[in-house]
């Protein structure tokens, strides 16, 4: 059992590591996932300036990618649609409408000059064997820009995920220049689809942004969507608008899609509805506004690391200096070799050292004769002469010796010397050289690539509760005891929205907070129904007069209702007590009628409720009188804010007075008889 557990843990760890490093999370050095890197590597190998069938590129890439062709083709299309590293020809789909591309055999692509400038340098790129050992593929390209910020990335691995937003290439270059100069900088996302974005909560790549569509509201009777928010297409946008219209959240009469290479979605409004009236509803209930969360997770030094945009720029600035240093040192070494060979060729031909090999009969004798011939000129040589150098000299054809141009050789040697001096100067000031390289990349970019596509703006996320209109009637049918928006009979209590919550108090003194119901039984004789937000409830002072279940004595309780747990029942009066009166007025007079008994002279008594103090929810009521109460009602008006008029309760005794209060007021009748 322990062996199986150990085997499972080891295999799962290896699988998780593979998914994280080799599939889902991009590498910080070149900002690419393995499949993307292999596609670009194939395009570099196939590059001849002409377009290649995407099907051929996919087939070639399968030499390096151990998975199916579908993942290669879809990744290539996504990269091509970002228009940075791959030129495309044919139908690659439409990122605005969400339409898919044509089959791989019908579309063509090639590598861009920008990709070659930024990434292609095989001499300093570390290589490893491919999965089958037949070919070599790059570990990571030595990119001169932080590509992970240019293209963005998203991926889900085992136990982690990444979501990196794309940025404008010109702004990234400027930010890296500022970093190299030791100055502060800010960098914000930029989307191909345009629109507007609020970056107040971007948190340097670890927060979120609020993206909005660009709306044309110049006509009061229609709204035209000109640009989409990040992550939306015209198809998903129209579907969200139609769903909102069907559910009654926005009032439109027609929607038309005129999108071509630019977005144009026309929304016509109903009669009596104008553009300003539904803007908030569009942002709240459709894809016209989207919140996009970010998580900048990358592979750094073979480990997944969460970083910020500023840290990525700072890290790449150091990498850029190292890349340029390696390139300069490589160029210097190649120039030094060229200078050495040109010097050897000049001496070999001018001093006729080749004449000394005429009498030699063995290969070793030839090599020794040439090496000995260079001994008098050792001071002119850059380094010692090797056997490989001799082999190169011996391969010089006779025609070249006879037509040798000493002046041309001297000009070439002079140019090589100047370049080596220039490289030495650049190596002493790599930071300034790095800035000049970035300026050169920026100068090569076309104007449309430099321009920011998404406008930075500040706006507040629209709350759906605020955007929706309270126009749904909430009804209560006293004859059946049902409450809800689907109740057709009864009285209209409130105008509500689907996002409201209401507090309902039953005749037993039990209350609960619930979502607006479609149809629910709450009891006949409901005492109260109103909105349950804390601010509204804090202003309401509830007054209840109830009959004690044991003694029948009347008690009064005055309190306010605070926070409640949703769909949980609470009691304002003791269990079994009968509520005789409930109201929300702060000042009122309530008459309590007592049960008739022999020799009982006082059969009713009026109390001013504002004479009694306000108490907590769990406190007991204050006893009004040591007599059994039969009913109670408010004088001269109905209970303020209640759904029912003042309740008159019957007692079980048959001798108790009826609900009609005139039958209880016996003193008035005696006066007439006198």
- Catalytic residue numbers? 106
Both tokens of 306, joined, read 């969460």
Task: Report the C-alpha gap between 457 and 133 in whole angstroms.
Answer: 52
Where would I find the H helices in 494-652? 534-538
Identify which of 216, 235, 218 has the alpha carbon closest to the alpha carbon of residue 227: 216
What is the Cβ-side half-sphere exposure of residue 64, based on CA atoms within 13 angstroms? 25
The beta-carbon contacts of 565-571 under 8 Å, at least 24 apart in sequence, are 565/513, 566/501, 566/513, 566/514, 566/515, 567/512, 567/513, 567/514, 568/512, 568/513, 569/510, 569/511, 569/512, 570/510, 570/511, 570/512, 570/617, 571/508, 571/509, 571/510, 571/511
Strand partners for 494: 474
Report the C-alpha dihedral over residues 191, 194, 198, 202, rounded to 10 degrees: 0
Nearest one of 317, 339, 319 to 423, comparing CA atoms: 339
What pairs with residue 138 in β-bridges?
A: 127
> Which positions ≥6 away from 57 have C-beta within 8 Å?
39, 42, 43, 46, 76, 109
CA dihedral angle for residue 197, residue 202, residue 206, residue 212, rounded to 10 degrees: -20
């Amino acid at each position: 059992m322990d062996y199986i557990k150990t085997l499972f843990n080891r295999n799962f760890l290896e699988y998780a590591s593979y998914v994280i490093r080799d599939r889902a999370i991009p590498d910080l050095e070149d900002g690419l996932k393995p499949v993307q890197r292999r596609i670009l590597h194939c395009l570099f190998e196939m590059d001849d300036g002409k377009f290649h069938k995407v099907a051929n590129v996919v087939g070639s890439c399968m030499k390096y990618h151990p998975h199916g062709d579908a993942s290669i083709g879809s990744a290539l299309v996504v990269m091509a649609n970002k228009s940075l590293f791959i030129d495309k020809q044919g139908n690659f789909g439409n990122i605005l409408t969400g339409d898919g591309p044509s089959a791989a055999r019908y579309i063509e692509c090639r590598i861009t000059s920008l990709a070659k400038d930024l990434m292609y340098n095989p001499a300093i790129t570390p290589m490893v064997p491919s999965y089958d050992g037949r070919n070599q593929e790059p570990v990571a390209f030595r990119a001169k820009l932080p590509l992970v910020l240019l293209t963005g990335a998203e991926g889900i691995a085992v136990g982690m995920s990444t979501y990196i937003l794309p940025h404008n290439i010109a702004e990234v270059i400027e930010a890296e220049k500022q970093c190299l100069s030791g100055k502060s900088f800010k960098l914000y996302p930029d989307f191909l689809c345009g629109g507007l974005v609020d970056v107040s909560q971007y948190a340097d790549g670890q927060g979120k942004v609020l993206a909005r569509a660009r709306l044309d509201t110049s006509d009061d009777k229609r709204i035209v969507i000109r640009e989409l928010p990040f992550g939306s297409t015209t198809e998903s946008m129209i579907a969200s608008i139609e769903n909102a219209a069907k559910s009654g959240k926005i009032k439109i009469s027609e929607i038309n899609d005129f999108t071509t290479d630019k977005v144009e979605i026309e929304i016509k409004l109903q009669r009596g509805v104008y553009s300003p009236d539904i803007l908030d509803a569009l942002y709240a209930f459709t894809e016209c506004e989207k919140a996009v969360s970010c998580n900048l997770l990358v592979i750094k030094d073979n480990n997944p690391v969460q970083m910020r945009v500023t840290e990525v720029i700072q890290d790449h600035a150091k990498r850029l200096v190292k890349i340029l240093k390696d390139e300069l040192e490589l160029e210097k070494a190649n120039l030094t070799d060229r200078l050495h060979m040109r010097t050897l060729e000049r001496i070999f031909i001018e001093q006729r050292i080749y004449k000394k090999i005429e009498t030699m009969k063995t290969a070793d004798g030839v090599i020794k004769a040439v090496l000995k011939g260079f001994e008098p000129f050792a001071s002119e040589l850059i380094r010692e002469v090797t056997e490989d150098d001799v082999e190169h000299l011996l391969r010089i054809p006779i025609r070249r010796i006879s037509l040798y141009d000493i002046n041309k050789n001297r000009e070439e040697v002079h140019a090589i010397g100047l370049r080596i001096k220039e490289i030495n100067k650049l190596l002493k000031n790599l930071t300034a050289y790095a800035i000049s390289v970035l300026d050169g990349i920026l100068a090569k970019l076309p104007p449309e690539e430099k321009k920011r596509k998404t406008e930075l703006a500040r706006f507040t996320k629209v709350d759906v509760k605020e955007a929706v209109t309270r126009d749904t009637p909430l009804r209560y049918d006293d004859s059946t005891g049902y409450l809800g928006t689907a109740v057709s009979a009864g009285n209209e209590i409130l105008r509500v929205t689907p996002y409201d919550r209401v507090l309902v108090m039953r005749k037993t003194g039990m209350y609960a907070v619930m979502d607006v119901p479609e149809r629910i039984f709450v009891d006949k004789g409901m005492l109260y129904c109103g909105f349950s937000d804390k601010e509204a409830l804090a202003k309401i002072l509830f007054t209840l007069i109830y009959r004690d279940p044991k003694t029948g004595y009347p008690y009064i309780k005055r309190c306010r209702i605070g926070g409640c747990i949703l769909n949980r029942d609470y009691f304002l009066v003791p269990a079994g007590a009968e509520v005789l009166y409930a109201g929300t007025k702060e000042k009122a007079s309530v008459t309590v009628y007592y049960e008739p008994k022999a020799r009982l002279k006082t059969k009713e008594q009026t109390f001013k409720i504002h004479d009694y103090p306000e108490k907590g929810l769990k406190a007991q009521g204050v006893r009004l009188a040591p007599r059994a109460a039969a009913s109670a009602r408010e004088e001269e008006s109905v209970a303020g804010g209640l759904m029912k008029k003042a309740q008159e309760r019957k007692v079980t005794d048959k001798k108790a007075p009826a609900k009609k209060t005139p039958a209880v007021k016996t003193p008035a009748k005696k006066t007439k008889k006198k």
